[in-house]
Amino acid sequence: MASSPHRIGLILIDHGSPSPVWNKSHEDLLPKVEEELERRGLASMFYAVRWCHMEFVQPSVAETMNKLEAEGVSRVIATPVFISVSSHSERDLPNILNIRFHPDQDSEMVRYTGHVPVTLCTPLDHQYGLLPKVIAQQAVDMMADGRDPTRTAAVVLSHGDGCEHFWQHLHRAINDLVIERTGIKSCEGLYVQTLRSPAAQRRLRDYCREAMAGVDTLLVLTAFNGLPSGVVGCPTLFLSNPLMVSALVDCAVHACQVSTGRKEVPELQGEEKKVDEMAGLRGSVVAALEGPKTVGANNKTVGA
């Protein structure tokens, strides 16, 4: 089928898991995303909204892309349902979407080889301030039972995946906001990789036992869905927070508007904006050091 110039597809990509329960907890976000688009009056922006998985389970990214191409989609906005920058966001997803070649490619991840252009969005940690707010709310919810904050500590579990330098900054922001919102004694981050691993589960339990020294309660907060048996944490699924749905829709809508020329690239936010402003300041300093300038013929600025 020939593509329509305004037939845009949106795919939401999660990691995928051997666990059907884990997969369903993510797939349940699809109708919520569609409802949020409808609530904003933007349902017609996307011809189709589909969920797919990077690995372990179907539908795969390549299968979903091939189906959308057969339906005549002209462009796809690919939104990762991934918490942070990792090898998946920087290597695997661009590889399987065929928008980048990286020699370290997982042979089990099938590459899309069709002709539909793809705009790949950023992981959720680029939604400024999102993750600290979501995880701090977990802590607030768990403190609602009347726990003594002076006798309570917290640990925030995250994957890590070799990108610890990103998570160091993120954990700092999360830990500070958790303490600010709850008044608890302390909050620390712990990299656990995948909790499917028995070794990771043992390490988490050992950490929890040690962290209980000096406190009555340890809040186990997570930057993903699910905890191993024997560890009691926040009962609210991480992805069920309305802020997560709103962030996914924000990212998809902005990417669609920019990639189709309906909106200019948005201004930088947060630390990136500060860096951008400093670059402008350095330019002003350099201009001042270069000395006076005069305006010559045809209003062109020339050096003294």
Residue-wise DSSP of 260-295: TTSSPPPPP-HHHHHHHHHHHHHHHHHHHHT--EEE
The 10s digit of each residue's pLDDT in 195-253 is: 667 887 888 888 888 988 889 999 988 876 566 555 556 655 667 788 889 999 999 99
The 10s digit of each residue's pLDDT in 55-102 is: 999 999 999 999 999 999 999 999 999 877 777 788 899 999 999 887
User: What does DSSP assign to residue 4?
Assistant: P
Kindly tell me if the per-residue pLDDT of 296 is higher than 60.
no
Q: How many other CB atoms sit within 10 Å of the CB of residue 4?
A: 12
Give the strand pairing for 301-303 and 293-295: antiparallel
Kindly tell me if the per-residue pLDDT of 182 is higher than 70.
yes
Closest CA to 200 of 209, 212, 190: 190
Beta strands in the chain (DSSP E): 8-14, 48-53, 75-80, 118-120, 152-158, 186-191, 217-222, 293-295, 301-303
pLDDT of 3: 59
pLDDT of 58: 96
Q: How confident is the model at residue 285 (pLDDT cuts 50, 70, 90)?
A: very low
Number of H helices, E strands in the chain: 10, 9
The 10s digit of each residue's pLDDT in 26-41 is: 899 999 999 999 999 9
Q: What number is the average pLDDT over the span 182-193?
A: 88
pLDDT of 157: 85
The 10s digit of each residue's pLDDT in 241-284 is: 888 899 999 999 999 999 999 887 666 555 555 444 444 444 44
Greater model confidence, 108 or 163:
108
SS3 119: strand
pLDDT of 37: 98
Beta carbons of 49 and 8 less than 8 angstroms apart: no
Peptide bond preceding 59: is omega within 30 degrees of 0, i.e. cis?
Answer: yes
Closest CA to 255 of 126, 121, 160, 134: 121
Q: How confident is the model at residue 25 (pLDDT cuts 50, 70, 90)?
A: confident
Residue type, 290: E
The 10s digit of each residue's pLDDT in 119-159 is: 999 888 777 688 899 899 989 988 988 899 999 999 998 87
Burial class (CB in 10 A: 0-12, 13-18, 19+), 134: buried
Kindly tell me if the per-residue pLDDT of 112 is higher than 80.
yes
